[in-house]
């Protein structure tokens, strides 16, 4: 089946998503759009030349017109925080950028499904929904899908078990107030704590410590950026997985950021909870039987985002 995916922003994240997609069979046409046209041209050419030994795929750079008839549009454009700049100042700049993009891309690709990746992702997903006129169910923020990948990779590594057997999620903001609803987490039907203590080959050396684990997830992005300047491989794989789920014939569950309409008592904020997504975009949210403390954490996380929205 022919699928067209447009990526806005051909920086580290956008180009790596395009490269990862070029190694998969889910898209037949990739379009890269960037205000730095030369960068988009160079990335498209480099990625295209790497597809010589696979089935044909088109990889081009272009302007908004080139996004026409896209099945999925991924937004990764933005600017990074400069020294001395506050998070709020940066947010205001990236909000300005996405507002501008929203109008242009919604006109060019009104029927696409949208994945917002640029940070702060929950805020920009909210702004894109308000500005683009695209129906809410066709827009998802990558939200805590990357954080969930980081959590699962750590649990799988520490317990020496395939991450396919690890069912655990990160909920809330993609940021400092994210948390693990441990009451809903398990490895092959067994609580994570019990698995660490009974079945993990590392049980004598690695203990189950929820604080250590969430700290690892929350600080991973900062550690990678401190070491290599940016994070792009894990987010690219997470976003490509979302593309697969959206283009698949059936629904799947992912932790993505969507508009809340009373779920867990939350309204008018985009935040990540387990969400059913599929070919028609957002289908539903699964309301887990969370503990009171977990619901409190979700509300705290949503409040951080709501406060930020009020300030912009």
Smallest gap, in angstroms, from Cβ of residue 201 to ligand NAD? 31
- Is residue 150 within the footprint of ligand NAD (CB under 6 A)? no
Q: Count CA atoms closer than 13 A to 215's CA, side-chain side.
A: 5
**Single residue of 121, 217, 243, 259 touching ligand NAD by CB under 6 A:** 121
| Length of the chain counted residue by residue | 312
Question: Is 17 near ligand NAD (CB under 6 A)?
Answer: no
Q: Distance of CA 269 to CAs 51, 99, 125, 139, 197, Å?
A: 40, 17, 9, 13, 38
Which residues within the stretch 23-52 sit at the binding site for ligand NAD (CB under 6 A)? 33-36, 39
Among 7, 11, 281, 302, binds ligand NAD (CB under 6 A): 11
* Nearest residue to ligand NAD, scored by beta-carbon proximity: 11
CB 139 within 8 A of CB 116: yes
The Cα–Cα gap between 21 and 44 comes to: 12
Q: Which of 6, 12, 125, 255 binds ligand NAD (CB under 6 A)?
A: 12
The distance of closest approach from Cβ of residue 94 to ligand NAD in the complex, given in angstroms and rounded to an integer, is 6
Chain-centroid distance of CA 78 in Å reads 15
Among 61, 119, 178, 255, binds ligand NAD (CB under 6 A): 119
Q: Smallest gap, in angstroms, from Cβ of residue 238 to ligand NAD?
A: 7
Give 156 or 230: the residue with its C-beta nearer to ligand NAD.
230
Say which of 174, 186, 250, 299 is annotated catalytic.
174
Buried b (16+ CB within 10 A) or exposed e, 194-232: ebbeeebeeeeeeebeeeebbebbbebbeebeeeeeebb
Q: Is residue 167 flagged as an active site residue?
A: no
| Residue from 101, 140, 282, 290 in contact with ligand NAD (CB under 6 A) | 101
Segment (H or E) for 253: strand 252-261
Residue 146 CB, shortest distance to ligand NAD, in Å, is: 4
Q: No. of H helices and E strands in the chain?
A: 9, 12
Residue of 60, 63, 38 whose CA lies nearest to 49? 60
Say whether residue 76 binds ligand NAD (CB under 6 A). Answer: yes
Contact footprint for ligand NAD (CB under 6 A) = 8-14, 33-36, 39, 76-78, 80, 97, 100-101, 117-119, 121, 142, 146, 174, 230-231, 235
Catalytic residues: 174
């Amino acid at each position: 089946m022919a699928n067209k995916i447009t990526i806005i922003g051909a920086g580290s994240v956008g180009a790596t998503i395009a490269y990862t997609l070029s190694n998969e069979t889910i898209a037949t046409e990739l379009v890269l759009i960037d205000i730095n046209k030369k960068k988009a041209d160079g990335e498209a050419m480099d990625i295209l030349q790497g597809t010589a030994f696979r089935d044909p795929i088109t990889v081009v750079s272009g302007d908004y017109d080139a996004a026409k008839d896209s099945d999925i549009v991924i937004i990764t454009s933005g600017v990074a925080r400069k020294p001395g700049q506050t998070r709020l100042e940066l947010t205001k700049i990236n909000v300005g950028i996405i507002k501008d993009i929203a109008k242009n891309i919604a006109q060019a690709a009104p029927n696409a499904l949208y994945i917002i990746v640029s940070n702060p992702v929950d805020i920009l997903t909210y702004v894109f929904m308000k500005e683009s006129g695209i129906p809410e169910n066709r827009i998802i923020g990558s939200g805590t899908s990357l954080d969930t990948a980081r959590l699962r990779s750590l649990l799988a590594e520490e317990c020496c078990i395939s991450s396919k057997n690890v069912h655990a999620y990160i909920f809330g903001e993609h940021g400092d107030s994210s948390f693990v609803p441990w009451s809903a987490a398990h490895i092959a039907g067994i609580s994570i704590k019990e698995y660490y203590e009974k079945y993990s080959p590392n049980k004598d050396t690695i203990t189950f410590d929820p604080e250590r684990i969430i700290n690892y997830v929350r600080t991973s992005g900062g550690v990678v950026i401190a070491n290599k300047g940016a994070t792009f491989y894990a987010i690219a794989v997470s976003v490509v997985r979302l593309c697969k789920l959206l283009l698949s014939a059936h629904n799947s569950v992912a932790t993505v950021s969507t508009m809340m309409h009373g779920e867990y008592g939350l309204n008018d904020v985009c935040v990540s909870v387990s969400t059913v997504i599929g070919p028609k975009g957002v289908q539903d949210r699964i309301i887990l039987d969370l503990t009171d403390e977990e619901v409190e954490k979700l509300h705290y996380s949503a409040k951080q985002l709501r406060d930020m929205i009020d300030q912009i």
